């Protein structure tokens, strides 16, 4: 194991200018665009989350029928809980994909050697957000149609779905990077994510219930503020922690 270095000839040295680093946001945008292009060609995450979302809502609809038939005071909270559970479980099937794909296809080394960690994180986060917003749009539309849900305050419901999605993505993108190198990825993603997402879910469900019940914006402001605070806290923590997770 002892190395030996033997000189063969002397070489003249030369020096060239050091190239500059890519602007962070441009590099992040490039990662996002690459992931979108890859996803549109492979449709791995897209198919998984959409199939899960559709089958969950259809199963709910077939099992329970239109919930409006037996309208009662608890109905909005039940509907909100069902909606968020469907979104959460569908998200679990696809949101880890951005990092898992890099590890499984063994392209992570090329990416590590080319892009700054923060650019990778932001690009993947943006991709996950786009995927989740698509999932939320499809799930909510199907949910409203198939379960005949009457959203009394659709503006507030949309704001809460957006705020909840931002929080969900802020929390799960870092976890996706952590589990990408593990052997039991799927189970680990759900196990690590759930404790982090529990507070988000409680607040999002309560706020969404108010929106479905048709209460005014003042009933949802508190939930929106908590979700915004949650998103900022998780996003900041993830940004600081990502370097340690991503680097070998």
Is there a contact between 125 and 176 (Cβ–Cβ < 8 Å)?
A: no
Residue 2 in contact with other proteins, rule: CB under 8 A = yes
Q: For residue 199, with 0-12 CB atoms within 10 Å meaning exposed, 13-18 middle and 19 or more buried, which class applies?
A: middle
Is there a contact between 124 and 173 (Cβ–Cβ < 8 Å)?
A: yes
Task: Count the residues of the shown chain that bind other proteins, applying the rule CB under 8 A.
Answer: 47
Query: Minimum CB separation from other proteins for residue 106, in Å?
Result: 4
55 versus 107: smaller Cβ distance to other proteins: 107
Query: Minimum CB separation from other proteins for residue 248, in Å?
Result: 5
> Which residue has tokens 């305050």?
153
Residue 37 in contact with other proteins, rule: CB under 8 A = yes
Is there a contact between 79 and 85 (Cβ–Cβ < 8 Å)?
A: no
Hey, what are 69's tokens?
């038939």
Q: Other CB atoms closer than 10 Å to residue 205's CB: what's the count?
A: 22
The residue from 64, 105, 145, 232 that contacts other proteins (CB under 8 A) is: 105
Using CA atoms, how far apart are residues 174 and 31, in angstroms rounded to an integer? 16
Residue 42 in contact with other proteins, rule: CB under 8 A = yes
Helix (H, G, I), strand (E, B) or coil at 151: coil
Residue 109 in contact with other proteins, rule: CB under 8 A = yes
The residue from 21, 141, 186, 233 that contacts other proteins (CB under 8 A) is: 21
Cα angle for residues 5, 10, 16 (degrees, 5° grid): 105
Residue 16 in contact with other proteins, rule: CB under 8 A = yes
Stretch in the footprint of other proteins (CB under 8 A) among 24-32, 143-151, 174-182, 202-210: 24-32
21 versus 155: smaller Cβ distance to other proteins: 21
* Interface residues toward other proteins, by CB under 8 A: 1-16, 18-23, 26-27, 29-31, 33-34, 37-38, 41-42, 105-107, 109-116, 119, 247-248
């Amino acid at each position: 194991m002892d190395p030996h270095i033997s000189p063969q000839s002397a070489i003249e040295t030369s020096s060239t200018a050091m190239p500059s680093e890519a602007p962070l946001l441009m590099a992040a945008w490039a990662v996002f665009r690459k992931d979108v292009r890859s996803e549109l060609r492979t449709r791995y995450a897209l198919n998984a989350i959409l199939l899960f979302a559709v089958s969950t809502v259809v199963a709910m609809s077939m099992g329970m029928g239109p919930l409006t038939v037996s309208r009662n005071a608890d109905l909005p909270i039940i509907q909100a809980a069902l909606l968020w559970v469907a979104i959460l479980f569908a998200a679990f099937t696809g949101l880890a994909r951005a990092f898992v794909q890099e590890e499984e296809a063994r392209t992570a080394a090329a990416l590590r050697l080319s892009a700054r960690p923060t650019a990778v994180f932001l690009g993947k986060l943006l991709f996950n957000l786009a995927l989740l917003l698509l999932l939320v749009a499809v799930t909510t539309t199907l949910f409203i149609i198939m379960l005949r849900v009457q959203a009394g305050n659709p503006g507030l419901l949309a704001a809460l779905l957006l705020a909840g999605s931002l929080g969900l993505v802020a929390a799960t993108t870092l976890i996706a990077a952590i589990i990408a190198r593990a052997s039991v990825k799927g189970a680990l993603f759900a196990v690590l994510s759930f404790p982090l997402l529990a507070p988000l879910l409680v607040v999002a469900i309560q706020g969404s219930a108010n929106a479905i019940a048709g209460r005014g914006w003042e009933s949802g402001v508190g939930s929106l503020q908590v979700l915004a605070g949650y998103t900022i806290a998780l996003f900041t923590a993830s940004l600081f922690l990502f370097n340690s997770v991503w680097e070998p």
